Amino acid sequence: MRIAMIGTGYVGLVSGACFADFGHSVCCIDKDEAKIDGLNAGKMPIWEPGLEALVKANAERGRLRFSKELADGVSDAEAVFIAVGTPARRGDGHADLTFVFQAVRELAKVIRPGTVVVTKSTVPVGTGDEIERILREEGVNDVSVASNPEFLREGAAIADFKHPDRIVVGAEDDRAQEVLKEIYRPLFLNRAPILFTGRRTAELTKYAANAFLAVKISFINEIANLCEAVDADVQDVARGIGLDNRIGPKFLHAGPGYGGSCFPKDTLALLQTADSAGVDQRIVRTTVEVNDERKASMVERVSSALGGELSGKRVAVLGLAFKPNTDDMRDAPSIPLVNALIERGAEVSAFDPVATEQAEKVFSNIEFASDAYQAAAGADALVIVTEWDEFRALDLDKIAQSLRGKVLVDLRNVYDRQEAAEAGLAYFGIGRGKLALS
Ligand code: NAD
């Protein structure tokens, strides 16, 4: 199959490289010229495990190419995927579809009759209908518009793409179904479940999935608060409920609140869709509130661990990316925490294994260390914000020696109180009994 991928970001680049690896001929297009120049020179615009090797291998085989010109890839494509950003619109939280509709108007000028246009971007219900309308307005009548929401997780994106829990295809005609079946054939052969639905249903399925996961996270975060009040351990509660197949163990890790480029904006967009439809979504609305408060409250944990005063304190922050194995800083829980620490008069030294370059664009007033021990040097407290594997195996004795104050605030429950105590550190975890906050 000849595929054009419009938008070469986290989703477009991974999807394009994986489709090429399936044997398709893929042209990834982006209007960010530096990104395309970089890719053509073998430089990855994002940090994602395994991506560079996959891109290089498929580029060398001639199955994957990169272009700034939409016409390059679209004019002979059998399927055109749209994988541009759909950020939250400032002010109201609606999904901003400017990039999607702009891409549609651009592709309308060069698309061949019979092509299938597929939205991979996360878009509100009805966007496919609007795309069809725009195409018609631009004089393009013989195309199919399908929805194929993407469920990959950054940090495990290639594995997720190649071994998905499911593939959702929302199509209104046989041609779109057949083309997408052909594109995903290698996964079909691997028995990955492919769910064919109506287009609007597929669009909503993506939001429902992300909203549900956000609910799960906020739920366990509230249970963690209760554990702190009644002297129970949220780690054990999570395991105790997660072993129930009806609940499942994933997304039950208490922490500093969810962030990233998807959950915050997608929950807001779902609420906007619900509002427009006149249907209240109380659970999701509350989840958003719970999460906003949670992220904002993390500074209090650091403050109380330091005796209630942050001014003049030096705080070492480990992990800035919104989760491990990515350099994505979008809506990362580290952002409100670090900003609040600075506002309250603390100095911050931080270390992230790969996100420093991205973090430098976000924070202008912190020191970036070259490893965890350097970050800890002379600090009054060490705060684990993102649970990178390398932070799971810190030499706590060495950390304790580097620190000025002997305080470990573990927002990801990577360590336990006893091992911290053995290194001479006061331990403040999340939801781990009454002592967690004392
Ligand atoms: P991104 O910001 O990393 O990439 C989007 C790219 O599209 C950018 O490089 C931008 O320059 C490009 N672009 C915008 N308009 C363009 C146009 N008209 N022509 C060509 N290129 C254009 O975004 P992302 O994280 O890859 O997300 C893309 C979509 O996928 C979003 O809707 C997001 O919600 C969804 N999604 C993201 C993830 C994730 O983990 N990042 C997972 C599932 C779904």
What secondary structure does DSSP assign to 75-99, as a single string? TT-SEEEE----PBPTTT--B--HH
**Residue 272 clears pLDDT 90, i.e. is over it:** yes
Joined tokens for residue 152:
């990959």
Mean pLDDT of the chain: 97
CA of 308 relative to ligand 1 center, distance in Å: 41
* Alpha carbons 165 and 177: distance in angstroms, whole number: 19
Residue of 18, 27, 227, 262 marked active site: 262
**pLDDT band of 215, cuts 50, 70, 90:** very high
Joined tokens for residue 44:
């990855």
**Residue 74 clears pLDDT 70, i.e. is over it:** yes
Ligand 1 atom closest to Cα of 121?
32
What b-and-e string marks burial along 354-383, b requiring 16 or more CB atoms within 10 Å of the CB?
bbbebbeebbeebebbeebbebbeebbbbb
Q: How many CA atoms lie within 13 A of 351 on its CB side?
A: 20
**Residue 404 clears pLDDT 50, i.e. is over it:** yes
Does residue 88's CB lie within 6 angstroms of at least one atom of ligand 1?
no
Task: Classify residue 382 by its DSSP letter.
Answer: E
Q: What are phi and psi of 341, to 5 degrees?
A: -60, -45
* Alpha carbons 210 and 136: distance in angstroms, whole number: 32
**pLDDT band of 247, cuts 50, 70, 90:** very high
Task: Classify residue 432 by its DSSP letter.
Answer: B
Q: What is the largest CA-CA distance in the chain?
A: 72
Which residue puts its alpha carbon closest to atom 20 of ligand 1? 30
**pLDDT band of 437, cuts 50, 70, 90:** very low
Residue 347 pairs in a beta bridge with 314
Q: Compute the CA torsion angle 58, 64, 68, 74 (nearest 10 deg).
A: -170
**Cβ–Cβ under 8 Å, residues 398 and 373:** yes
Ligand 1 atom closest to Cα of 95?
32
Model-level pTM? 0.96
What's the confidence (pLDDT) of residue 438?
Answer: 41
**pLDDT band of 39, cuts 50, 70, 90:** very high
Of the candidates 227, 228, 250, 222, the one whose C-alpha atom is nearest the C-alpha of residue 237 is: 227
Of the candidates 341, 291, 340, 348, the one whose C-alpha atom is nearest the C-alpha of residue 315 is: 348
CA of 82 relative to ligand 1 center, distance in Å: 8
Percent residues over pLDDT 70 in the chain:
99
Known catalytic residue at 262 = yes
Question: What average pLDDT does the segment 270-292 reach?
Answer: 98
Does residue 10's CB lie within 6 angstroms of at least one atom of ligand 1?
yes
Question: What average pLDDT does the segment 389-401 reach?
Answer: 97
**By three-state DSSP, how is residue 197 classified?**
strand
Ligand 1 atom closest to Cα of 84?
7
Does residue 83's CB lie within 6 angstroms of at least one atom of ligand 1?
yes
CA of 9 relative to ligand 1 center, distance in Å: 5
* pLDDT single digits (tens) 141-167: 999 999 999 999 999 999 999 999 999
**pLDDT band of 381, cuts 50, 70, 90:** very high
What's the confidence (pLDDT) of residue 96?
Answer: 98
**Residue 279 clears pLDDT 50, i.e. is over it:** yes
Ligand 1 atom closest to Cα of 103?
18
Of the candidates 225, 202, 198, 207, the one whose C-alpha atom is nearest the C-alpha of residue 281 is: 207
Side chain identity at residue 91, one-letter code: G
* pLDDT single digits (tens) 168-200: 999 999 999 999 999 999 998 888 999 999 999
Does residue 333's CB lie within 6 angstroms of at least one atom of ligand 1?
no
What's the confidence (pLDDT) of residue 435?
Answer: 56
Side chain identity at residue 430, one-letter code: I
Calculate the alpha carbon distances from 401 to 152, 371, 373, 422 in Å: 40, 15, 9, 13
Ligand 1 atom closest to Cα of 262?
34
Which residue puts its alpha carbon closest to atom 9 of ligand 1? 9
What's the confidence (pLDDT) of residue 190?
Answer: 82
Does residue 9's CB lie within 6 angstroms of at least one atom of ligand 1?
yes
CA of 326 relative to ligand 1 center, distance in Å: 15
Does residue 99's CB lie within 6 angstroms of at least one atom of ligand 1?
yes
Does residue 68's CB lie within 6 angstroms of at least one atom of ligand 1?
no
Of the candidates 315, 342, 325, the one whose C-alpha atom is nearest the C-alpha of residue 389 is: 325
Residues 6+ apart with CB under 8 A from 422: 396
**Residue 436 clears pLDDT 70, i.e. is over it:** no
Residue 407 pairs in a beta bridge with 381, 426
Percent residues over pLDDT 90 in the chain:
97
* pLDDT single digits (tens) 322-339: 999 999 999 999 999 999
Which of 10, 27, 109, 358 is the pocket-test mutation for ligand 1 (most atoms within 8 Å of CB)?
10
**Residue 36 clears pLDDT 70, i.e. is over it:** yes
Does residue 85's CB lie within 6 angstroms of at least one atom of ligand 1?
yes
Does residue 95's CB lie within 6 angstroms of at least one atom of ligand 1?
no
